[in-house]
Chain A
């Protein structure tokens, strides 16, 4: 009967260590691949993407700054607003007064930024102007959507 110790070589055992080296290489490649995918997900998810708003042009068409620090909740009384300031097509031509959005930085490559805009009239004149009122005639709509 055979199979005394040292008889048949044990199954799978690789005395040269070649398979071990190959496995280490394959494992390293796999590990790097996994780390790359972790990096991919992290890079995709968590990197800042804030953008400076391009400035609004100064034609002022249909625009009206509102004097209200809305974050603190003081809301304008509708009765206090001057009625009938809705700009029509005629208003577009007449109100060429620009409103400078002073605190908004100009985006790079946007030629119509506020700093480049001609400030022909002071913005303060628009302070306190009423909002457009034409929404008031419409029925209220509920926001539910799928």
Chain B
């Protein structure tokens, strides 16, 4: 498909179970007990002060090198990351990013430094200035033990002015930090596996009406899909969603409805 080398697909388990003729059950020959297990350690998440931690994980049917290459290539970041207008290389390890909030159309610019770059293994970058200065993205690439490709783990440590309040507001009005990192890694996977990012933007439809527009907003369909390998070069080249309701009005209604519902629930409990 379009533009990216494809990884030979997974061939199955590396340790296939075998059939034991005497016992009559399938078993893996090399398994012996006692056997040391491990305890689940959650990946970072949550909010403190102006820091918001978000993470996501995907298994992508490609090699760690290919996943790393697409993730770390500045000139193609805007085709798969949401809200990214352009990235310009300014030095060996520095870039200048221009982002746009798709709901408010407000642009923000900042410089990004690559802190650590181990090809096919780990990539760490940090925002140097602007409103999100100090935000750090750590992405690791690990070969799937059963040959299904690459496990990619992405942890974003956001520095957000306003912290939790901004996080909640951005979740309502556009994409919250947790969902943003989820969607971005999903798009990376779609591009690497399918060769494009699926989209329904610009397809025909009948009149949406007020309820239709409201549902589109609630389901986050007001967020432009990054262009992927389509002819659209930038998200803002997409058809304008002029029929969409004003974001602040929708946000206000949502907050009022939530407050009303909370008041009602408390009243019920108190009664």
Are these two chains actual partners, yes or no?
Answer: no
